Amino acid sequence: MSNVIKSNGFTNESLEWDAWLDVITLEQASQDQIKVLEESNPKAKTSDYYLFLAHQPDILRQRSAAFNAIMYAPGGLSRAERELGSLVVSRINGCVYCASVHAQRFEQLAKRSDTVQQVFDNPHGAGVDAREKAIARFSAELTEQPDAIDAAKIAALKEVGLTDLEVLDLIHSIAIFAWANRLMLNLGEPVFADGRPAE
Amino acid sequence: MSTPIYDIGNDVIDQLAGLQAGSPLHVLRHQRDKVAAASQGSYDTLLDPALEGIGLDERLLVALYACRLAGAAEVADHYRTRAQALPVDAQQLAVADSGEPEQLAPGRLRAMLVFTRALTQRPVEGDRAAIEKLPAAGISTPAVVALSQLIAFISYQLRVVAGLKAMQAAAAR
């Protein structure tokens, strides 16, 4: 990671997350629960988030398959631009934990952090160029008013050069964080590594 | 249900977005077939009739209410139709469709709908006290997980549908 960025309660520092209800323990987990944790994320066995969701392994398996296919599939929208969509959504929804994770991913992929500072400061106007601005604006619109998304908003993405597959990938990247943010914000809370609350 | 079999001819998001098999947008969407399959798989597992601790009727009413709050009228129609196909309490259906959770007597469904409203409309205000009202209403932790995943999934599903419908409209211009 480059520089620490803090703005409006958001940060690109690494955070942890504590569940508010009981999580499963690895000692008592079923084989299927262990398997779905291993499929979901390399750190899932030590993450309260995954240990909580693993109460329902069949549901978690499908969620993780959707998440990983959306964020990591080859081709289409660049991974950095998918992370930008996710970051804007997380900033608007107020998910400090998700914003920190996806700020770091954006920085790793794009090799710069200027857009992260902009998203933390004001997600609606963020973007270093016309393409990034259009991606950030659409991410805000589909997050805040999904029923108002129309042909003109798609045309605005096409005008800055997005292909149809890139538009589809962006829609998925935004929508999956409508899902992820709601879980992170309502099932537990972010903490710094030393245990201090992070919001 | 463990892992449902994906049938591209019976894909709920395709149906809700009005994508015809073989149309350009249908072909494009299924270039991301892992996403389509896992989205359908999420729908199928979240609405598995055999899921323990939370009734299918409760889940369909939660889904209907979440869609209504988000302004997704056509996705709401889908869940209303599914709820009406079950033996479902008329007052509970009316509340999910057009009322407020507080019109219900204190109990499981009222607690679930209050939680649905919080997650759908003001997710940032979520706190420990809000989630603890669910076990207090007799809802087990695994059922809380299923409920939370369902509400969050609906927020995902209705945005994918809205995006696809806008892409369809843009292509027709």
Q: ipTM value, please give it.
A: 0.97
Asked if residue A184 is part of any domain, the answer here is no
Of A72, A89, A120, the position where a domain reaches its end is A72
pLDDT above 90 for A49: yes
In A58-87, the residues whose Cβ lies within 8 Å of chain B are 58-63, 65-66, 69-70, 73, 76
Query: What is the per-residue pLDDT for B64?
Result: 98
Query: What is the per-residue pLDDT for B173?
Result: 81
What tokens were used for B8? 């591209």
Kindly report which listed range (A2-16, A72-86, A109-123, B74-88) carries the lowest average pLDDT score: A2-16
DSSP string, A97-159: HHHHHHHHHHHHHHS--HHHHHHHH-GGG--SSHHHHHHHHHHHHHHH-GGG--HHHHHHHHH
Of A72, A98, A116, the position where a domain reaches its end is A72
In chain A, residues with a C-beta closer than 8 Å to the C-beta of B77 are: none
Asked if residue A186 is part of any domain, the answer here is no
pLDDT above 90 for A195: no
Query: What is the per-residue pLDDT for B1?
Result: 63
Residue of B nearest to A140 (CA): B159
Residue of A nearest to B123 (CA): A182
Residues A62 and A123 in one domain: no
Task: Name which of A21, A58, A60 is nearest B144 (Cβ-Cβ).
Answer: A21
Do strands A10-11 and A6-7 pair parallel, antiparallel, or not at all (unpaired)? antiparallel
Q: Rounded to an integer, what distance in angstroms lies between the CA atom of residue B15 and that of residue A143?
A: 22
- Percent of chain B predicted with pLDDT > 90: 95
Residues A90 and A160 in one domain: yes
Q: Do B155 and A167 touch (CB under 8 A)?
A: no
Kindly report, residue by residue over B72-85, the tens digit of the pLDDT.
Answer: 999 999 999 999 99
A183 vs chain B: nearest CA distance in angstroms? 7
Q: How many domains does chain B have?
A: 1
Kindly report, residue by residue over B119-161, the tens digit of the pLDDT.
Answer: 999 999 988 999 999 999 999 999 999 999 999 999 999 999 9
In chain B, residues with a C-beta closer than 8 Å to the C-beta of A56 are: 45, 142, 145-146, 149
From first CA to last CA, the distance across chain A in angstroms is 21
Residues A142 and A158 in one domain: yes
Buried b (16+ CB within 10 A) or exposed e, B8-29: eeebbbbebbebeeeeebbebb
Residues A49 and A124 in one domain: no
Contact A89, A178 (CB under 8 A): yes
Query: What is the per-residue pLDDT for A193?
Result: 81
Q: CATH number, domain at B164?
A: 1.20.1290.10
Asked if residue B16 is part of any domain, the answer here is yes
Asked if residue B2 is part of any domain, the answer here is no
Give the E-state strand segments of B17-172 in sequence order: none
Q: Rounded to an integer, what distance in angstroms lies between the CA atom of residue B72 and that of residue B75?
A: 6
pLDDT above 60 for B163: yes
- Once rounded to an integer, what is the mean pLDDT over residues A69-95? 97
Kindly report, residue by residue over A159-176, the tens digit of the pLDDT.
Answer: 999 999 999 999 999 999
Q: Rounded to an integer, what distance in angstroms lies between the CA atom of residue B170 and that of residue A46?
A: 45
pLDDT above 70 for A1: no
Tokens 């149906």 correspond to B15
Between A1 and B14, the higher pLDDT residue = B14
Residues A95 and A126 in one domain: yes
Query: What is the per-residue pLDDT for B44?
Result: 98
Asked if residue B61 is part of any domain, the answer here is yes
Asked if residue A194 is part of any domain, the answer here is no
- Once rounded to an integer, what is the mean pLDDT over residues B112-125? 95
- Once rounded to an integer, what is the mean pLDDT over residues A71-96? 97
Residues A65 and A92 in one domain: no
- Once rounded to an integer, what is the mean pLDDT over residues A108-125? 95
Question: Domain range spanning residue A48?
Answer: 16-72
Q: How many domains does chain A have?
A: 2
Asked if residue A4 is part of any domain, the answer here is no
- Percent of chain A predicted with pLDDT > 70: 98
For B2, counting Cβ atoms within 10 Å of its Cβ (0-12 exposed, 13-18 middle, 19+ buried), the class is exposed
DSSP code at position A128: S
Of A56, A72, A88, the position where a domain reaches its end is A72
Query: What is the per-residue pLDDT for B69?
Result: 97
- Once rounded to an integer, what is the mean pLDDT over residues B9-23? 96
Contact B115, B151 (CB under 8 A): yes
Residues A82 and A163 in one domain: yes
- Once rounded to an integer, what is the mean pLDDT over residues B7-21? 96
Asked if residue A39 is part of any domain, the answer here is yes
- Percent of chain A predicted with pLDDT > 90: 90
Any B CB within 8 A of A192 CB: no
Asked if residue A40 is part of any domain, the answer here is yes
Asked if residue B97 is part of any domain, the answer here is yes
Q: CATH number, domain at A90?
A: 1.20.1290.10
Asked if residue A11 is part of any domain, the answer here is no
Kindly report, residue by residue over B48-104, the tens digit of the pLDDT.
Answer: 999 999 999 999 999 999 999 999 999 999 999 999 999 999 999 999 999 999 999
Asked if residue A112 is part of any domain, the answer here is yes
Residues A22 and A93 in one domain: no
Question: Domain range spanning residue B97?
Answer: 8-172
Confidence bin at A2 (pLDDT 50/70/90)? low
β-pair partners for A7: A10
Residues A53 and A98 in one domain: no
